Amino acid sequence: MERENRIEILDTTLRDGAQGEGINFSLRDKLAVAEALDELGVSWIEAGNPGSNPKDMEFFMHAGELKLKNAKLCAFGPTRKKDAAPGSDPMIRSLLDSGAEGIVIFGKSWDLQVTEVLRVSPEENIAMIAETIAFLKAEGREVFYDAEHFFDGWKANPAYALAAVAAAVDAGAGRVILCDTNGGNFPDLVAEGVKAAIRTAEERKKSSSPLIGIHVHNDSGLAVACSIAAVQAGCRHVQGTLAGFGERCGNACLASLIPSLELKMNIRCLPQGNLPMISALTRRVAEIANVSLSGDMPYVGGHAFSHKAGMHTDGVLKNSRTFEHVDPAMVGNDRHLLMSEMGGRSAVAERARKVDPDITREHPLVSVLAGKLKSLEAEGWAFEGADASFELLVRRELGRYKPLFFIEAYRVVSEHPTGSAIACSHAWVKVLVEDQHEIAAAEGDGPVNALDGALRRALTRFYPELKKVRLDDYKVRVIDGKDATAARVRVLIESTDGSLRWGTVGVSADIIDASRAALTDSIEYKLIGDIERRFKTYL
């Protein structure tokens, strides 16, 4: 591809993403995230500020273990301090000591920030930018300049914001990144600011102008839109975080932005053939960060290609373009036809084909399943978030279901002592696997947690792969509140083994029994799937 059809991607999950609330990467986490980003094929990984905390410097000390194939590492830090030489500034020295091939320097481009936050003169701030970049260039590093608050500064004082850009260009920055640090600007203003910065860069360097980049926060919910506007205006370097998390409301979500650029604008961001990896790798990064991805994330979310209404499912099965803007396989995602009374025979047949590929819309089983689905939902069952339970239902109707274990008995006891003692629950379970009995007990924070622990402890002897499974979400819904405390409840459980996710459902007047049903389905679905993948056959 020509240069104008390529975009350089810098992922800042390990720096800006780590500033998000609730994100706390260990060293091993940071190394694992870097490996995932390199596998995806981003150009640069901004790995942290080595001068701000020992953990970031420790990462750079271990970076040689990574054996990166696609990405290069950047260290992040500020311009030199007021009235100091760059070479004697400890923060600048830490950037060099990191050994990172690229160094990202952030500086002020809004005069309000210069006078109110840095408390230096506008002239001194320009000198801090220029001298820091020139020093690092002389040390042989690739230097990026993050123009903090560029768009707010450009609105307030265009001449000064562009002077900061000019200083970075003159000093030799290879990339000048325009930052909407507060995330409050609209795409049209961002596009205008980008064009102004590009004109300034071209005026300062008639040849070999630096790449102009974009870095947007999501405080107005427009980070992806603003990033696309910046690219349309001429940016050829884009920064964001793969799963979108970061300071305050997060950064531009690369899992949404990259597919839009590649599939809608024909702009290459990743190595050829890597885009279908983006869904799985986004989930992996979120798993490492212990963050639950929203199901409605564009392209990669669990709901991104879900269809519930009968007309929608019928249409998408006849021609996917009727209700899907891209083929889910292009981003490594899957189509989900949600099982509900609003669906139709087409949706039921499509889901049943995952168990038996020979099932058609006219197969007698489809009518049976459609009728059973409606009657179960009338009783309070809901399968639209419980595809795994619906698949087990299909297997039972087809006669392709063989129980892998039986729960012969179980008991759950909760203790709520008075005073300072902490409440806890205990569970005991007896299972039968083929002709062998196993009894196990566990303690948990609540009755369901205890039951889950006891059940998996009993079964792990026979199925060690269950050690990887954990509950990722647990929801309880009262089906008919008029029965008060005797009302039936619906329990929805979402489980994961670190790579796959699946949902199951249980219904009962007893919340523990409803949970037991959903837990049992979750475990059976995992075990059956593993067996079929291992032996490449249907049970």
What pLDDT does 438 receive? 95
- What is d(CA 319, CA 338) in angstroms, rounded to the nearest whole number? 18
Q: Is pLDDT of 530 > 60?
A: yes
Percent of the chain with pLDDT over 90: 62
What pLDDT does 537 receive? 60
- The angle that helices 27-40 and 54-62 make with each other, rounded to 10 degrees, is 50
Residues 6+ away with beta carbon under 8 Å from 519? 448, 451, 452, 455, 493, 504, 506
2: pLDDT confidence band, cut at 50, 70 and 90? very low
What pLDDT does 1 receive? 34
Q: Is pLDDT of 536 > 80?
A: no
Residue 348 vs residue 222, higher pLDDT: 222
The tens digit of pLDDT for each residue in 266-314 reads 999 999 999 999 998 998 899 889 887 888 999 998 788 877 766 776 6
481: pLDDT confidence band, cut at 50, 70 and 90? low
Contact criterion met (CB below 8 Å) for 428 and 410:
yes
Q: Is pLDDT of 321 > 90?
A: no
**DSSP β-bridge partners for residue 253:** 241
Residue 334 vs residue 409, higher pLDDT: 409
The per-residue DSSP string of 198-218 comes to HHHHHHH-SSSPPEEEEEEB-
Closest CA relative to residue 7, chosen from 286, 225, 239: 239
Contact criterion met (CB below 8 Å) for 190 and 169:
no
Residue 341 vs residue 419, higher pLDDT: 419
Pair type for strands 501-508 and 489-496: antiparallel
The tens digit of pLDDT for each residue in 173-208 reads 999 999 999 999 999 999 999 999 999 999 987 667
What pLDDT does 355 receive? 81
Which range of 159-168, 277-286, 357-366 scores highest in mean pLDDT? It is: 159-168
Q: Is pLDDT of 421 > 90?
A: no
What pLDDT does 306 receive? 77
Local structure of residue 106 (DSSP, 8 states): E
Residues 6+ away with beta carbon under 8 Å from 444? 424, 425, 426, 427, 450, 451, 452, 453
What pLDDT does 482 receive? 59
DSSP E strand stretches across 256-353: 306-307, 336-337
What pLDDT does 390 receive? 86
Lowest mean pLDDT among 92-96, 259-263, 524-528, 533-537: 533-537
What token pair was written down for 9? 């991607």
What pLDDT does 350 receive? 75
Lowest mean pLDDT among 86-95, 135-144, 500-509: 500-509
- What is d(CA 406, CA 457) in angstroms, rounded to the nearest whole number? 14
Domain ranges of the chain: 3-289, 306-378, 406-535
Q: Is pLDDT of 216 > 60?
A: yes
What pLDDT does 97 receive? 94
Contact criterion met (CB below 8 Å) for 158 and 165:
no
As a whole number of Å, the end-to-end CA separation of the chain is 47
The tens digit of pLDDT for each residue in 73-106 reads 999 999 999 888 999 999 999 999 999 999 999 9
Average pLDDT, the chain: 89
Contact criterion met (CB below 8 Å) for 144 and 174:
yes
Q: Is pLDDT of 214 > 50?
A: yes
What pLDDT does 3 receive? 45
Residues 6+ away with beta carbon under 8 Å from 219? 182, 183, 184, 248, 249
Contact criterion met (CB below 8 Å) for 242 and 15:
no
Neighbour count for residue 296 (Cβ, 10 Å): 10
What pLDDT does 401 receive? 84
What pLDDT does 473 receive? 82
To 5 degrees, how large is the angle CA 336–CA 340–CA 344? 80
- What is d(CA 246, CA 240) in angstroms, rounded to the nearest whole number? 9
User: Stretch 393-414: mean pLDDT, rounded?
Assistant: 89
What pLDDT does 10 receive? 98
What pLDDT does 475 receive? 86
To 5 degrees, how large is the angle CA 79–CA 84–CA 89? 60
Q: Is pLDDT of 226 > 60?
A: yes
398: pLDDT confidence band, cut at 50, 70 and 90? confident
Counting beta carbons within 10 angstroms of the beta carbon of residue 404, is it exposed (0 to 12), middle (13 to 18) or buried (19 or more)?
middle
420: pLDDT confidence band, cut at 50, 70 and 90? low
The one-letter code for the residue type at 211 is: L
DSSP E strand stretches across 169-248: 175-180, 211-216, 237-240
What CATH number should be reported for the domain whose range is 3-289?
3.20.20.70
Lowest mean pLDDT among 74-78, 357-361, 432-436, 438-442: 357-361
What pLDDT does 538 receive? 55
What pLDDT does 337 receive? 67
- The angle that helices 511-535 and 387-398 make with each other, rounded to 10 degrees, is 70
Domain 406-535 = CATH 3.30.160.270: yes
> Can you give the pTM of this predicted structure?
0.72
User: Stretch 252-273: mean pLDDT, rounded?
Assistant: 97
To 5 degrees, how large is the angle CA 303–CA 308–CA 309? 145
User: Stretch 134-142: mean pLDDT, rounded?
Assistant: 96
Q: What 3-state DSSP class applies to 479? A: coil
CA distances from 513 to 270, 452, 478, 503, 505 (A): 48, 12, 14, 17, 11
Percent of the chain with pLDDT over 70: 92
